[in-house]
Structure 1
């Protein structure tokens, strides 16, 4: 038996669920297929927190972030679940980069304040700074696990059909639709859709037809860690440290407080290239040691020896720009390059636009070549 549906979303991580919600709330019939069980830890959407980081200088990201903030708030109103915790973001390091970000934010009327290192250290006694700090109060964290639950609940309330443990094995575009072959727990399911949206993270390239003009996507296993604070009285912002490569460590640093787990600290995009189906789920020992050394140097308020590693994947483009585009009957959202989660409901909106309107276009940096 073959099912016929107008829209199929392949992948029910953050971006897939957001796209499902956006399509369903517009009145469309949508089927979403996810190869793993609900709440799995195989991809890039699990965990309690993600940075809601507005330290961008490029208009296309700031535009997307403005939409994301509005849509996060709408999702919270719809579900009654608060999803953003706006305790502010402290960014330090590369002065030229921070000046560009500050200028871009101020030009848009966003709140942004430059603090001397001494003032920043007074506010956040658990951190160390060696130069000016850009503080943006309308940033903080997304409650990531709660967001996934809210997106699924909101989508189902609008009639979306979301099926876990349904692995799409073949996507074949024809003149009258897209045929999908699905492994539903060992049973074959055939589905034909008018339009398919692929939001499959690290598995994207393996699902799309060979002729699809996808740019190179590199899958890496990244290993941030939670560290225990030395005192419960310390205040913590979310943070970025744009590090001069001549001064080490091995990459830029990001992090945020996660209630009940500590303060998350991680190097950005430094992990080994992996097959997403053959990961170790363990940090590279040398990188784990470097992260502890970094925490010992820059976080006097954290206990370096308490590192609790986290494993996740990055699926990155060479430019670190997202891929949000359509070819024929197939829409793709991919390459979120370790900085996509904050944009989740806005990405879902863009992908829903692309799926329902042949004239829709994402911002130029997000388009296929």
Structure 2
């Protein structure tokens, strides 16, 4: 820094202000300092900065998979929002959802020196993993049922499922079948519970749950069974990928959508409007979930004690061409 100051003809304090992006330096002086930095190959020492400030300006993210649309889009929003606030993101995917893997991920992130951690996984693994974190590290959990044990940001899963069921019932369908996600998923369980509650409130028969694993292939397998039931005229799929497989199974069985069977999904992935027919679905605002996760960890860093509780991001129904009046309605 002293070498840069001598070459630029300014004080070391001015070099520090330029390297940290502080205001109050005129453009001519800033240009001189930046030119001197480039000529000398100077780069600020992030470790020294961290020691001086007592923070690392880095947020760690732990997630099980990058194969799902929700995780990828949430992570994209986290990275963008963090960068806007001057923070870097360190991503640590967990290979398998076990307590040992989760504990190891937290340990590695602690060694990598992060100020906060955003976790995209089921909260029961956090509770059972006997995690020990440095006292300064803050945690926000996305898409999980953590109650007041952590700061949580989640989509309004129940509200979205109710929108789906109410839409299908309003079209004259006697009941709604449910193609659910895996039973160890909080999001899948919350959507199933809301589907069941909405049918019960309307006084309708509650069919047996048909379960998939979020993939289009599992939706196709389940869809072949549903297509064989002539009493099935409406299906709420817990995500758009399973709805895609269901559409294929119905087509192969000669059952028209929406004339014979109405189908509604959940997520509103970018491709859902290009399904055949275009898919009616529940829109999740993954970008808002990611932004609120970053806001949550930054807010925790400035509060003592940190906040707890859940922030729900609203959903909305996107009506396209895969839903229509019940046969004979």
TM-score (norm 1): 0.29
Structure having the higher helix fraction is 2
Structure having the higher strand fraction is 1
Structure with larger RCO (C-alpha < 8 A, sep 6+): 1
TM-score (norm 2): 0.32
